[in-house]
């Protein structure tokens, strides 16, 4: 079934010059299309909405500080089972646990700076797309 997902290339990916590398991996997946793309800086209100589920956890404050430490690239990716698919390309949250060949496994260093966000379910995708690309929803 064709779906849409929200992808963020986090500030570490932008700083380290990995935008092309990561987008290239998404583009090479046959049948997926990038339907929106923007370089932008995230304010506190946007981050609170986006990562609200993690408010109160010990990693929340450092996560928000990291996510506002530089611009991110926000993308909408469309295609067959793309929600599950981009999560698989990204690999597990902790780069040490992520297999070589995955984005986090190849380039990740620590759990917070893990290069990429991808919506984790259809419900999350719908919620996050409204935050980042309200005109496209």
Give the footprint of ligand RTP on this chain (CB under 6 A): 54, 59, 63, 93, 111-112, 114, 117-118, 120
54 belongs to the catalytic site: no
Distance CA 135, CA 133 (A): 5
Task: Report the candidate in 38, 2, 43 with the shortest Cα–Cα distance to residue 136.
Answer: 38
* Shorter beta-carbon distance to ligand RTP: residue 44 or 93: 93
Q: What angle do CA 18, 26, 24 make, to 5 degrees?
A: 45
> Is beta strand 33-40 parallel, antiparallel or unpaired with respect to 116-118?
unpaired
Terminal CA-to-CA distance of the chain, rounded, Å?
Answer: 18
To ligand RTP, the closest distance from the beta carbon of 92 in angstroms equals: 7
To ligand RTP, the closest distance from the beta carbon of 81 in angstroms equals: 17
- Which parts are annotated binding residues for ATP? 10, 59, 87, 93, 104, 114
Environment class of 4 (CB within 10 Å of its CB; exposed 0-12, middle 13-18, buried 19+): buried
* Shorter beta-carbon distance to ligand RTP: residue 79 or 125: 125
Which of 117, 118, 128, 132 is flagged as catalytic?
117
Specify the residue for token string 């005109």: 135
* Shorter beta-carbon distance to ligand RTP: residue 81 or 112: 112
Enzyme catalytic residues:
117
């Amino acid at each position: 079934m064709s779906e849409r997902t929200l992808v963020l290339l986090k500030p570490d990916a932008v700083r380290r010059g990995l935008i092309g590398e990561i987008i290239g991996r998404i583009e090479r997946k046959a049948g997926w299309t990038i339907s929106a793309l923007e370089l932008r800086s995230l304010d506190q209100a946007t981050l609170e909405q986006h990562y609200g589920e993690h408010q109160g956890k010990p990693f929340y404050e450092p996560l928000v500080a990291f996510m506002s430490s530089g611009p991110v690239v926000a993308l909408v990716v469309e295609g067959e089972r793309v929600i599950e698919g981009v999560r698989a390309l990204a690999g597990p949250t902790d780069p040490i646990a992520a297999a070589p060949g995955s984005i986090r496994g190849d380039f990740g260093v620590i759990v917070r700076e893990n290069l990429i966000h991808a919506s984790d379910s259809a419900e999350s995708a719908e919620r996050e797309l409204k935050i980042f690309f309200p005109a496209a929803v």
